[in-house]
Structure 1
Amino acid sequence: MNQPLLNHATQTMAAGSKSFNTAAKLFDAETRRSVLMLYTWCRHCDDVIDDQTLGFASGAVAEASIEQRLAELQRLTRRAYRGERMSDPAFAAFQEVALAHAIPERQALDHIEGFAMDVRGERYETIEDTLRYCYHVAGVVGLMMARVMGVRDEAALDQACDLGLAFQLTNIARDIVEDARNGRCYLPARWLHDAGLTQQNFAAPENRQRLALIARRLVEEAEPYYRSAKAGLGALPLRSAWAIATARSVYREIGVNVVKAGPRAWDRRQGTSKTRKLTLLISAAGLALGSRSARQVSRPAGLWRRPL
């Protein structure tokens, strides 16, 4: 893959995920390159659906309907797996990574299905429904990233998926109000009903106290998935374990900050400071080292299961 595309991938990661960008710098050079390329494809698919294509899509794609854009992503993904020459740089990068690391085609298409769920405007009745969405947009990314890091054991892949689920639950809690402004709600309708809220009024300023309780429930729901992911660090090479432990700590901290902020959680975007990220990076090194000798822990019963 040429250097300009690698440079673009690096810039895309820095702009699109400041939390994961810190962790990505810890991978060995070869793994980091593959992680960046895979992330670029994921980001590109997201941007195509949102019509924010970062200069990669042609004018024809940018002017197409959202359904046509979705169909084009699916078509190009299938072409990449057939080994056809890819003119789109994001798909050329994805093709290299997917074929080199034997990423199953179904997983790539499962990720695009997450965007299709947004296009269809799906609603989520239960937390299991929300977790199904989390799988498509983030859990399956954890599966693909784990394959890039050399993981093939199914139990370890489950734990990689769990980290993606935890990340997305945290994202949902952080972005509830922003998502509502864009006409999207990933909160379980039953939870809204329990709090005396509706799809129409949950994000209203006067309901922030009750919304904060729902955000707390989401953050609490993420905890067993974060614990499962921590138990899976031992399946990764040491530097990859350090990178993933760092990402896990940084994202988990975002959820902690949402809960601490309570009703004011959405006055500004919750995150972690550079100083705090450095502290978490150092502590994550200890987690990674400790995972070398930690005994294998089975995935807790009762967690949502990915499709097999």
Structure 2
Amino acid sequence: MPRPRLLAPSRILRTTPRQVGGGRPRAALVERARQSIARGSRSFALASQLFDRQTRERAWLLYAWCRRCDDIADGQDHGGALRPDEEGARDRIEAIRVLTARALDGQPTADIAFDALGQVAAEAHLTAEMADDVIEGFALDAAGWRPRSEADMMRYCYHVAGAVGVMMARVMGVAADDHDTLDRACDLGLAFQLNNIARDLLEDDAAGRCYLPVEWLVEADIPPGQHMKPAYRAELVEMAARLVDIADEHEAAARVGAARLRFRQRWAVLAAANIYGAIGREVRTRGAAAWDHRVHTSALAKLGHVAAAFLQALRRPPQPAEWPRWTRGEILVAVRMAGPVAPIPMTPLPDDV
């Protein structure tokens, strides 16, 4: 039987050549990334201005990828109301994985945010494992996953924010073997996400999500899906304060690591810590009124936090009174051992409720 003929001689067949940033001009990637962070996060955009130019541009490139992944996973456009769509969610996560893998392999993706990841990954030596850790957080949301325990909650916080903190540390030039400083960068991401969870309880509930551990809800005698009901507001206030207390511990640890960075990097990191820390502490201060109106930081207050960060960057931070219970090492062990987490099924309410 004759062998099939190739449509083109094998000698002229070529794989797609590696092209950092998908072959796009770096300046174009940076400009689109700048637009993305300006639109998606005023707080991070402000803090990023304090970086030196190289760090600032790399931070923008990384942010653009994170933002795009989040929007693809949730069907959003630079944030806004969550519109969870379980049908097709796995396909969207798979698309994120494929595009990310192509970007890291130096291949064009036809999506500028993923090409931006390819650019910054090549410059800052970001790895596929780092990116996979972040994508896993989107996958958990797509699966309708909810944390059963505090350890589960911290693993989720690691995926969606702690792992990003590690990538940001590499962007700022922290060595791959400087595990203690990478741990502190992870701590800052964990603090950010814990404060976000406390602030966004109402919005998450409206989207059918809850990041409070089931065990916490059981301890407080709150039925599944009922934690935002007025009858349980006192218990919710206690749990939000508990979240912010844990965030404060991680923030204090992160400040120790920030002291090892160059001055402008230190200033930017401390400014972001001040802004997000203030959000969590405002939730705790408002008590039962914390979810009547979404907590935010005014432009004037942000400038105050930036000014305070400048002074803080000049001083050596105090050692934490108590180091966080959850370490990056413990969380990573749990992440590697757990594998895919099965979603907790929601108990349907009777039709007459």
| Fold equivalence (TM over 0.5) | yes
Matched, 1:42 2:66: yes
What SS is found at the alignment partner of 1:270?
Answer: coil
Identify the match of residue 193 of structure 2 among 161, 168, 172.
Answer: 168
Identify the match of residue 250 of structure 1 among 275, 295, 302.
Answer: 275
What SS is found at the alignment partner of 1:235?
Answer: coil
Matched, 1:207 2:232: yes
Q: Is the 8 A contact 2:104 2:117 kept in 1?
A: no
Gaps of 5+ in 1: 55-61
Matched, 1:76 2:123: no
Identify the match of residue 173 of structure 2 among 144, 150, 166.
Answer: 150
Matched, 1:109 2:139: no
Corresponding residue number in structure 1 for 2:310: 285
User: Please, what is the CA RMSD of the aligned residues?
Assistant: 2.1
Identify the match of residue 259 of structure 1 among 277, 281, 284.
Answer: 284
Larger helix percent: 1
The CA distance in 2 between the partners of 1:128 and 1:77, in whole Å, is: 28
Matched, 1:7 2:36: no
Q: Is the 8 A contact 2:250 2:324 kept in 1?
A: no
Q: CA deviation at 1:100?
A: 1.1
Fraction of identical pairs, as percent:
43
Taking a change above 3 Å as real, the CA distance of residues 295 and 275 of structure 1, as seen in their structure-2 partners, is: closer
Matched, 1:231 2:231: no
Q: Is the 8 A contact 2:33 2:116 kept in 1?
A: no
The CA distance in 2 between the partners of 1:210 and 1:81, in whole Å, is: 45
The CA distance in 1 between the partners of 2:167 and 2:115, in whole Å, is: 16
Corresponding residue number in structure 1 for 2:158: 135
Q: CA deviation at 1:200?
A: 1.8
The CA distance in 1 between the partners of 2:32 and 2:291, in whole Å, is: 31
The CA distance in 1 between the partners of 2:180 and 2:65, in whole Å, is: 26
Please, what TM-score do these two structures have when normalized by structure 2?
A: 0.80
What SS is found at the alignment partner of 2:259?
Answer: helix
Gaps of 5+ in 2: 1-24, 79-84, 334-353
Higher Rg of the two aligned structures: 2
What SS is found at the alignment partner of 2:134?
Answer: helix
AA partner of residue 42 (structure 2): K
What SS is found at the alignment partner of 1:103?
Answer: coil
Q: CA deviation at 1:298?
A: 12
What SS is found at the alignment partner of 1:145?
Answer: helix
Q: Which of 126-135 and 191-200 deviates more?
A: 191-200
AA partner of residue 30 (structure 1): Q
Q: CA deviation at 1:132?
A: 0.2
Please, what TM-score do these two structures have when normalized by structure 1?
A: 0.91
Q: CA deviation at 1:48?
A: 0.4
